[in-house]
Amino acid sequence: MTTTTTEPTAAAAPEPAVRDRADVRRQVRLVITFAVVLAALVAFALLIEDPKFTYLLGEKRTKDSVVREGDATLVSWGAVAIAALALVLAVLDRFPRGWKGALLGVLVGLAFYAGFLMWAYTDQGGGSFQAFIANPIPGTIRIATPLVLGALAGALCERAGVINIAIEAQFLSGAFFASVFSSIAYTSLVFIPVGLCAAFGLLGGILAGVLIAAMLGWFALRYHVNQVVLGVVLVAFATGLTSFLLGQIPKEHKDTLNDPQVLEKIRIPGLADIPLFGDALFNQTLLVYLMYGSVALVTFLLFQTRWGLRVRAVGEHPKAADTVGINVNRVRWQAVLLGGVFAGLGGAYYTVGSTGAFDREVSAGTGFIALAAVIMGRWHPVGATFAAVFFGFMWNLQNQLSFVQPVPGELLGAAPYLATIIAVAGFVGRVRPPAADGEPYIKG
C-alpha cells in the first residue's frame, strides 16, 4: 500500500483591497487643500518686512490692557511647518480620522489664521506694526452665541425629522419680544429688581420662539405642508410682523416698549483669571452661560436618554418607531417646541443680550447661518456648536481686519458667507441627514 503525500501549498496571498472612491476623494481633497494653504503661508512669510508685532490679550486697547510683542517671522514659519506636516500626512494617506483629524484640521486653520495676520498687519504704518492685533476670542463668543443656540434648535428639529428653515423667524420674534418684555418689566412692574428686568426679557424671547415653533409644528405635522416652503413663509411672516409692530410703537412710548435693560456680565472668580481666554469665556452674561449649558443639555438629551433615542428613531425610521408603540408626531412636537426655546433665547441675544433696542431685521440672516452650522456639524449638537463657533470666528476676523489695507473690504465682507457655502456644499465630507428628515408621517 502506497501513500501519497502532497506538498503543502503556499497560502494564496490576499488580494489587495480596493480603496473606496470616497477615501480617494477625501485624500485628493485634503492634498489640494493643504497644498493651497501651504503655498499661501509661504507667500505670507516671504512678504513680511518688519518681524516685530504687538498684540493685546484683550479685545480692545485701554489703559489697563496687557500688551505683548512678538516675532512675526517665527510665527509665520511655524505656521508653514504645521501646514507642511498636514500635507505630508495627506500625501502619504496617513491623515488621521475622527477627533484626531478634526483637531489637526483646526490646528492647520489656526496656523493659516496666524500667518495671514502676520502678513496683513505688515504694511500698517510703513512696514511696522502700528496696529494692535486683538484677542479674537471675545468677539467670536459674542457673535457665535446666538448661532450656537439656533444650531441647537435646528439639530433638535431635524433629528426628529422636521426641517427648521424658520430659525431666522424665531430669532427675529425672540429679539422683538425680549425687548418688549424687558422694557415693560423695567417701566411697569416695579416689584421686579432692575437687575432682573433683562432676564425677564429672556422669557419673552422664549415665548416668541416657542410660538413660531408651534406654527411650524402645526402646519408641518398637522397639515403636512412642505417644510422648506413653510420655513421660508414663516421667515417672511416674522420679518413683516416685527417690522409692523415696531412701526406701531409711538416715539413717546419707545422708552416703555423698546428700551430694554441689557444683561450684565457675571464674572466667575478663578476661571476668569486664566490667561488669554479666561476673561473671554468666564466674564460673560447669563445668556452666554445658558448657551454653554444648552450644548451639554441637548447632547445629553439626544444621546443619553430614552426620549433622545425616540427622537432619533422618529427621525430615521418613523414607521418602525410607530410599530414599537412610539407616538411619532407627539415626539416630533416635543422636539420642535423644545427647539423653539433655544432659538428664542438666541433671538433674545440680539436685544437684551447685546445691543438693547430692537431694530428691523436685527438678526441679519444669521438664522440661515445657524442652519448651515447644523449641516456642517452633521446634525450633532457638538458638531453644530463647533461649526457655529467657526462662523463666529470668520465674522470676527472680518471685523478685525476691516481697516487693514492689503485685504479688500468686499472680500472680508463675503468671507462668512463663503464659509457657509463651502459648508453647505459638503466640503467637510459626506453628510447624511436623518433618513426621514422633512418627510411627514401618516399613520396607517
The pLDDT of residue 151 is 96
CB atoms within 10 A of CB 194: 10
pLDDT tens track for 95-148: 888 778 878 888 888 888 888 878 877 655 444 444 566 778 888 999 999 999
The percent of residues above 90 in pLDDT, for the chain, comes to 43
Residue 47 has pLDDT above 80, yes or no: yes
Model-level pTM?
Answer: 0.85
Backbone angles phi and psi of 5, in degrees to 5: -110, 145
Band of the pLDDT at 396, cuts 50, 70, 90? confident
pLDDT tens track for 320-374: 999 999 999 999 999 999 999 999 999 999 999 888 889 888 998 899 999 989 9
Residue position matching grid coordinates 420662539 = 209
How far lies 111's CA from each of 36, 38, 76, 105, in Å? 13, 10, 8, 10
Backbone angles phi and psi of 149, in degrees to 5: -65, -40
Mean pLDDT in residue range 296-309 = 96
| 137 in Cβ contact with 323 (< 8 Å) | no
Burial class (CB in 10 A: 0-12, 13-18, 19+), 19: exposed
C-alpha cell recorded at residue 145: 452665541
What b/e sequence results for 29-57 when a residue is b if at least 16 CB atoms lie within 10 Å of its CB, and e otherwise? ebbebbeebbebbbebbeebebbebbbbb
274: left (phi over 0), alpha (psi -120 to 50) or beta: beta
Comparing CA positions, the residue from 242, 281, 239 lying closest to residue 258 is 242
Q: Which of residues 357 and 296 earns the better pLDDT score?
A: 296
CB atoms within 10 A of CB 225: 16
